[in-house]
């Protein structure tokens, strides 16, 4: 599978923000001297951040692997980064510090390190504003932004040639916070392999990657937070100017897939993947998940590409679900069989969370045919609804919430018929911890249908943390 840095191999969590240092219009500023400042969030366990310039917000809500582009007039500015906390407050985590930006220079201001480890800091990279790139060439700067990866060797090669790394000299060796380049290389297809310094075992292999002529790229090794993250400690984040971001996972990382049986009257099922004659999953019962969950990032790895998934009653070959899945390296998917057997269908969830040191992260799925629209409250244990507002309102069957930032604590989950404010079901106490990701699926009860279902299928870190 080939990847082009600046074509749409972009995962949903990676995008570019834009902002400015003042309220001046672009037309008024276009004739003024400017420098260029790109702000990059490269701390894998830090929450979303705001960037303040001279005390005012220049960028808001930047997430991990996001970049924001600013175009200030040359001069000195006080810059600070504040973390957005789950209770709606903020706290300054970097700075304030005075930085000078010069005319005809461009800068990368990178937040690196770990929130949990107390190592958050800024890294400033300076570059030419308008470098010369020859015909048929690509300009590369390569930054090591993955704190836990340590010193590494990097090899760039023709993907058509198999390298024996034991007999090769690395193109460069660098450590955390180092930057290699700028390098000018011929445009074309490359394979990028990374080993621990002095080792001949690759811990990252990009597979074939196309580097287009004329591109001016900052390629950064960042901590891998994708699905199946155990496949490699890093992914590569490529920025071209301020326009595009691509997150390139190791070629062998694959997509992460798990299957949940949430059809109350359906029999046990077999799951066939990719047209295989034998089931990949056998005899999966209502409420069960495959593979068995042992915390966040519990998936089976499947190769990127379009893959067919069929679900049959155990021991039969007639598919009650037949769906094609678009699988992307590093993307987690939860494939859930929902509805009653007569109308059974797949509900496919994109699992895009990461563990954040300052919050618990909670997602809720309405998977119950027995319950109509509901409001969901998350309150301190024993306090009841009182004057609380629901964290989710008017939730209907097959709705999937965003990942919600929640302060660490012990809670009751109260489900009420939408708009009633009257508890119908209370589940708790539920312990939610910082640095954990939780998914709760409301499901049908066996037997007579209640007005509101109180049964849950628990996924992710619910499967390793005592909760009920």
The rounded distance, in Å, linking the Cα atoms of 215 and 211 is 7
3-state secondary structure at position 435: coil
Are 443 and 455 a contacting pair, CB within 8 Å?
yes
pLDDT the model gives residue 242: 59
Are 38 and 71 a contacting pair, CB within 8 Å?
no
Spelled out in words, what is the top-level CATH class assigned to the domain 353-468? mainly beta
| Neighbour count for residue 48 (Cβ, 10 Å) | 17
pLDDT higher than threshold 50 for residue 467: no
pLDDT higher than threshold 80 for residue 31: no
pLDDT the model gives residue 28: 46
Characterize the bridge pairing of strands 216-223 and 234-240.
Answer: antiparallel
DSSP string, 296-355: SS--EEE-SEEEEEEEEETT---EEEEEEEEE-TT-EEEEEEES-GGG-EEEEEEE----
Confidence of residue 58 (pLDDT cuts 50, 70, 90): very high
pLDDT higher than threshold 50 for residue 27: no
Backbone angles phi, psi at 17, to 5 degrees: -100, 165
pLDDT higher than threshold 70 for residue 125: yes
Confidence of residue 213 (pLDDT cuts 50, 70, 90): very high
pLDDT the model gives residue 189: 95
Confidence of residue 240 (pLDDT cuts 50, 70, 90): confident
pLDDT higher than threshold 70 for residue 291: yes
pLDDT higher than threshold 50 for residue 23: no
Confidence of residue 453 (pLDDT cuts 50, 70, 90): very low
The rounded distance, in Å, linking the Cα atoms of 301 and 231 is 10
- Out of 13-17, 157-161, 196-200, 417-421, pick the least confident: 13-17
Do 254-352 and 353-468 have matching folds?
A: yes
The domain spans of the chain are 3-248, 254-352, 353-468
Please state which CATH number belongs to domain 254-352: 2.60.40
Span 294-353, pLDDT tens digits: 889 999 999 999 999 999 999 999 999 999 999 999 999 999 999 999 999 999 999 988
Are 247 and 328 a contacting pair, CB within 8 Å?
no
Instruction: Identify each DSSP E strand in 150-297 by its residue range.
Output: 152-157, 172-174, 179-186, 188-196, 202-211, 216-223, 234-240, 244-248, 255-261, 269-273, 281-284, 289-290
The rounded distance, in Å, linking the Cα atoms of 61 and 409 is 24
DSSP string, 9-71: ---TT--EEE--SSS--HHHHTTS---EEEEEE--TT---EEEEETTEEEEEEE-TT-EEEE-
Mean pLDDT of 432-460: 81
Q: pTM of the prediction?
A: 0.89
pLDDT the model gives residue 428: 85
Mean pLDDT of 71-90: 96
Instruction: With CA atoms as reference, report the closest residue to 196 among 204, 206, 186.
Output: 204
The rounded distance, in Å, linking the Cα atoms of 348 and 323 is 10
The rounded distance, in Å, linking the Cα atoms of 8 and 16 is 13
**Radius of gyration in angstroms for the set of CA atoms belonging to the chain, rounded to a whole number:** 25
Mean pLDDT of 229-252: 87
């Amino acid at each position: 599978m080939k990847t082009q840095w600046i074509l749409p191999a972009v995962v949903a969590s990676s995008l570019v923000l834009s902002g400015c240092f003042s309220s001046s219009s672009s037309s008024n500023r276009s004739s003024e001297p400017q420098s260029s400042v790109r702000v990059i969030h490269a701390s894998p366990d830090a929450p979303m951040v705001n960037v303040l310039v001279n005390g005012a917000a220049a960028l808001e809500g930047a997430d991990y692997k996001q970049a924001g582009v600013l175009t200030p007039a040359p001069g000195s500015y006080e810059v600070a980064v504040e973390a957005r906390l789950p209770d709606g407050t903020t706290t300054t985590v970097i700075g304030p510090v005075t930085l000078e930006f010069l005319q005809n220079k461009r800068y990368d201001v990178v937040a690196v390190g770990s929130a949990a480890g107390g190592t958050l800091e800024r890294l400033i990279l300076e570059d030419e504003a308008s470098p010369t790139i020859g015909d048929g060439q690509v300009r590369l700067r390569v930054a090591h932004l993955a704190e836990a990866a340590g010193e590494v060797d990097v090899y760039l090669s023709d993907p058509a040639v198999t390298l024996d790394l034991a007999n090769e000299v690395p193109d460069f060796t660098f450590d955390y916070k180092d930057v290699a380049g700028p390098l000018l290389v011929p445009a074309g297809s490359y394979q990028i392999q990374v080993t621990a310094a002095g080792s001949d075992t690759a811990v990252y292999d990009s597979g074939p990657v196309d580097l287009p002529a004329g591109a001016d790229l900052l390629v950064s090794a960042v901590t891998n937070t994708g699905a199946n993250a155990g496949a490699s400690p890093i992914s590569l984040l490529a920025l071209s100017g301020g326009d595009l971001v691509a997150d390139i996972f190791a070629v062998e990382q694959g997509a992460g897939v798990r299957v949940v049986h949430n059809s109350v009257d359906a029999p046990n099922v077999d799951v066939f993947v990719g047209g295989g004659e034998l089931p990949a999953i056998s005899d999966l019962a209502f409420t069960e998940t495959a593979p068995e969950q042992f915390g966040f990032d519990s998936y089976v790895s499947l190769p990127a590409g379009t893959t067919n998934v069929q679900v049959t009653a155990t021991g039969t070959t007639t598919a009650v679900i037949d769906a094609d899945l678009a699988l992307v390296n590093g993307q987690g998917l939860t494939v859930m069989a929902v509805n009653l057997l007569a109308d059974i269908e797949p509900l496919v969830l994109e699992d895009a969370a990461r563990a954040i040191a300052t919050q618990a992260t909670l997602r809720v799925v309405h998977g119950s045919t027995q319950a109509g629209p509901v409001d969901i409250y998350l309150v301190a244990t024993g306090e009841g609804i009182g004057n609380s507002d629901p964290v989710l309102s008017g939730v209907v069957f097959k709705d999937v919430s965003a990942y919600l930032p929640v302060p660490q604590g012990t809670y009751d989950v109260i489900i009420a018929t939408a708009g009633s404010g009257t508890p119908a079901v209370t589940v708790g106490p539920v312990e939610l911890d910082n640095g954990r990701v939780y998914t709760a699926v409301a499901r049908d009860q066996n037997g007579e249908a209640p007005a509101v279902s109180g049964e849950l299928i628990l996924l992710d870190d619910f499967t390793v943390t005592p909760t009920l």
